[in-house]
Amino acid sequence: MSDETEFIAAKNASTDGEFVRDATYINDRVVKGLEPGSDPVGEKIGEMRWPVEAGRYRLMAARACPWASRSIIVRRLMGLEDAISMGLAGPTHDINSWVFDLDPDGRDPVTGLHRLQEAYFNRIPDYPRGITVPALVDLPTNAVVTNAYQKLNFDMLSEWTDFHRDGAPDLYPEAHRDEIDELDSWIYPTVNNGVYRCGFAAEQGAYEKAYDELWASLDRLEERLATRRYLVGETITAADIRLFTTLVRFDAVYHGHFKANRSKITEMPALWGYLRDLFQTPGFGDTCDFPQIKEHYYNVHRDVNPTGIVPKGPDLAGLLTPHHREELGGSPFGSGTAPGPIAEPSERVPAGHRAE
């Protein structure tokens, strides 16, 4: 959903001013074992199973959104570009929907959609909840299959294996799944969602509670990453992707816009080195568009920033400076390989939109 919609829902749902994220999604899955071209199996939306089928689905995303950025990174690291195409919405929108205003005539070139909302209505007329990215759209019907980002990402890792590139990494290794899930159990509410709980708090007490929990967790992560290159094991995992999309937005957006301002990530040595390490890894920094990220938060969140003025800073060139994290051991992809250059011109972040 748009963050404006989330904020309105939060004010209605909470009696103490705390931001409450609407986490109700269309939980359909795309799985192996079903005949390509077949209809989904199941009778209830949210519990249906769709067949893995190259070319059938389009990932609708927005570089501005951290949840969508996770899916963009997973798709690129696993080499699923030829199997699952991608449409990119622009960074600003109204309360109704993300809009494909980056494309000619304001329409996604594959689906012809102007608003992502149309794909939701094609599946559920007058869909009553927020219009979120990422969303997977069924091209034959132009209807949303799922917007449950965590399950969507898991399916790209575990169900689309026949279409993974040679050398694709194991981002959710069996030996570390419990540890990855345990980390997510506190990083998600206090860090990923914690910055939103700070920014959208409607009462001082709710803000201070979220702020304290955020910094307790960031201090905990700073200590953890002082002695290890990645969050879990010796290679990049899903845990790193989940944390990266928050950290890379922190100094540019969350520090000021969301009042998460005890410190900047550049002032925390381990987290700053870790962020630079990931940013310089193919699949991470090359998917980040900072003007879009800043325009989204500062322009769309008029409850937080009434003027809509987008700050010129900060200088993000430091993301490209040496990090020396390789001295801690490990390697980004283990026995796998890095993804190659982005082949599709429309998926490349424009020059001047990166940390240059």
CATH number assigned to the domain with residue range 3-163, chosen from the 4 options 3.30.70.1450, 3.40.50.300, 3.40.50.920, 3.40.30.10: 3.40.30.10
The residue with tokens 């899930």 is 181
Can you give the pTM of this predicted structure? 0.95
Q: Where does the chain hold its CATH 1.20.1050.10 domain(s)?
A: 175-347
Q: Half-sphere exposure (CA, 13 Å, Cβ side) for 198?
A: 23
Task: Just list the catalytic residues.
Answer: 65, 196
Residue 11 has pLDDT above 70, yes or no: no
Our separate counts of H helices and E strands in the chain read 11, 6
Chain segment 93-132, per-residue pLDDT in tens: 888 889 999 999 999 999 999 999 999 999 999 999 999 9
Sign of the C-alpha dihedral computed for residues 343, 345, 348 and 350 taken in this order = positive
Chain segment 266-292, per-residue pLDDT in tens: 999 999 999 999 999 999 999 999 999
Q: Are the CB atoms for 87 and 111 separated by under 8 Å?
A: yes
* Tokens, residue 11: 């004010």
Chain segment 16-70, per-residue pLDDT in tens: 899 999 889 999 999 999 999 999 999 999 999 999 999 999 999 999 999 999 9
CATH of domain 175-347: 1.20.1050.10
Q: Which of 65, 66, 26 is nearest to 48 (CA)?
A: 26
Q: Where does the chain hold its CATH 3.40.30.10 domain(s)?
A: 3-163
The whole-number pLDDT of residue 142 equals: 98
Give the type of residue at 141.
T
Residue 1: helix, strand or coil by DSSP? Answer: coil
The whole-number pLDDT of residue 180 equals: 98
